[in-house]
């Protein structure tokens, strides 16, 4: 593209303004590029400065509010929930109700010889804390079935009312679970071939996974798709204790391995259901299921470490005599 013609103000010898001739010196003006006929105005010839449009200074508070509003827009956009394929609500209600019943049946089978068929509160348990522990955990399982049934019956208002009562139980369950585990450690209870310290690691570490997921379910109580999955996964972690009491010795499997296998089957059922109904794994299942499974599967390896044995001895010495 050819370079535009160079024009100097000094080349314009005279300019007429108000009937007078003005001599322009070429040494006072710098060259510019452009078309003299289209781009040169009177203010360009006489180099009259043009004041830019005034900029109104913005108050710092207003500017910060504007920034906060902008930030909130981007934060809200980044926190949008992922969209999932629409599911058949009838099938979904049947699935979660069936899972609740399945967990209760597994709990009954596992604790039937030592608790349910032994008279529950009249069962010859070695410690009074175990009676309270068994009663509260049984109440949680019953509420779990009732809550699933209320959703199936479309009684959402009743479900929320019972949910307020039900969420008073997890803190009590966590405390009772820790106390029952330390009591068993103090009495020297063994699970299969494991020593008391390793045996205590199974409920103590497992209750940590339950606490994490059940707290997340409470935070997600306004999001039903995440809430119901987290409740199911957390309760499945509790049922692992019942799986450990199944007669696995008949097939040569240790109780701890049986508990891990039973929990894995429950979580696998949930994953298969989501892959069929959603064509993907729900985000809540994606993180909560590994957390619960890891706390159960890694309890024995962690319990075998010297650090855990020292920690268990400390718990037995400080807390054990007072339970």
Phi and psi for 6 in degrees, rounded to 5?
-85, 135
DSSP secondary structure, 59-106, as one string: PHHHHHHHHHHHHHHHHHHHTPPPP-----HHHHHHHHHHHHHHHHHH
* φ, ψ dihedrals at 22, nearest 5°: -115, 125
d(CA 220, CA 229): 10
| Residue of 5 and 210 predicted with greater confidence | 210
Higher pLDDT, 181 or 45: 181
Q: What is the pTM of this model?
A: 0.73
pLDDT band of residue 249 (cuts 50, 70, 90) is confident
Residue 210 burial (CB count, 10 A): 25
The dihedral over CA atoms of 301, 304, 305, 309, expressed in degrees to the nearest 10, equals: 140
* pLDDT greater than 90 at residue 229: yes
Q: Report whether 118 contacts 162 (CB < 8 A).
A: no
Residue with the larger pLDDT of the pair 290 and 120: 290
> Which residues share a beta bridge with 21?
16
All structural domains of the chain with their residue ranges: 6-45, 89-322
The pLDDT, as a whole number, for residue 83 is 63
Asked if residue 151 has pLDDT above 80, the reply is yes
Interacting residues of 69 by C-beta distance below 8 A, sequence separation 6+ = none
| Alpha-carbon 177 to chain mean position | 23
Q: What pLDDT score was predicted for residue 119?
A: 87
Confidence (pLDDT) at 74: 36
Structure-model confidence comparison of residues 52 and 226, the more confident one: 226
Distance in angstroms (rounded) separating the CA atoms of residues 229 and 235: 10
The confidence score (pLDDT) of residue 253 equals 87
**Residue 32: beta bridge partners?**
7
Mark residue 101 as left, alpha or beta (left: phi above 0; alpha: psi -120 to 50; beta: remaining). Answer: alpha
Residue that has been written with the tokens 């729900």 in this structure: 282
Rounded CA separation 40/321 (Å): 99
Report pLDDT for 84. 64
pLDDT at residue 42, rounded to an integer: 43
Q: Where are the alpha helices (DSSP H) in the chain?
A: 36-39, 42-45, 60-78, 89-111, 128-152, 156-166, 169-187, 196-219, 224-243, 255-277, 283-297, 299-303, 306-318
Residue 187, Cβ neighbours under 10 Å: how many? 13
What's the pLDDT at 176? 96
- For 190-199, the pLDDT digits (tens) are 998 899 999 9
Count of C-beta atoms within a 10 Å radius of residue 99: 21
Question: 50-106, pLDDT tens digit by residue?
Answer: 454 444 445 444 444 344 333 333 333 345 556 666 778 889 999 999 999 999 999
**What pLDDT, on the 0 to 100 scale, is given for residue 17?**
43
Nearest to 174 by CA among 127, 138, 223, 208: 208
C-alpha–C-alpha distance, residues 107 and 254, integer Å:
18
Query: What is the pLDDT, as a whole number, of residue 282?
Result: 96
Residue 171 has pLDDT above 90, yes or no: yes
Residue ranges of E strands in 208-288: none
Of residues 267 and 38, more confidently modeled: 267
Rounded distance between C-alpha atoms, residue 183 and residue 170, angstroms: 20
Residue 113, pLDDT above cutoff 80? yes
């Amino acid at each position: 593209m050819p370079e535009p013609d160079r024009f100097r103000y000094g080349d314009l010898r005279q300019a007429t303004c108000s009937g007078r001739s003005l001599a322009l010196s070429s040494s006072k003006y710098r060259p510019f590029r452009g078309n003299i006929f289209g781009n040169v105005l009177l203010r360009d010839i006489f180099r009259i400065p043009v004041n830019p449009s005034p900029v109104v200074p913005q108050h710092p508070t207003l500017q910060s509010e504007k920034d906060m509003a902008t930030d909130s827009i981007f934060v809200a956009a980044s926190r949008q929930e992922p969209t999932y394929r629409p599911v058949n609500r009838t099938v979904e209600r049947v699935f979660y109700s069936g899972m609740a019943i399945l967990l209760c049946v597994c709990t009954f089978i596992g604790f039937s010889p030592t608790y349910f068929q032994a008279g529950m509160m009249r069962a010859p348990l070695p410690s009074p804390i175990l009676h309270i522990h068994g009663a509260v955990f049984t109440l949680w399982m019953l509420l779990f079935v009732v809550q699933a049934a209320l959703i199936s019956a479309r009684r959402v208002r009743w479900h929320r009312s019972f949910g307020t009562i039900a969420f008073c139980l997890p803190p009590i369950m966590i405390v009772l679970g820790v106390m029952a585990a330390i009591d068993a450690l103090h009495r020297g209870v063994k699970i299969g071939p494991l020593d008391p310290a390793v045996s205590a690691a199974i409920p103590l570490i497992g209750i940590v996974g339950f606490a994490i997921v059940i707290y997340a379910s409470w935070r997600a109580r306004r999001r039903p798709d995440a809430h119901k999955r987290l409740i199911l996964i957390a309760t499945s972690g509790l049922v692992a204790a019942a799986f450990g009491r199944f007669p696995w010795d008949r097939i040569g499997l240790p109780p701890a391995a049986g508990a891990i296998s039973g929990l894995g089957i429950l979580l696998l059922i949930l994953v298969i259901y989501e892959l069929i109904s959603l064509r993907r794994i729900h985000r809540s299942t994606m993180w909560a299921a590994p957390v619960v499974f890891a706390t159960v599967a890694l309890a024995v390896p962690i319990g075998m470490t010297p650090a855990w044995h020292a920690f268990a001895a400390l718990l037995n010495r400080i807390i054990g005599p007072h339970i």
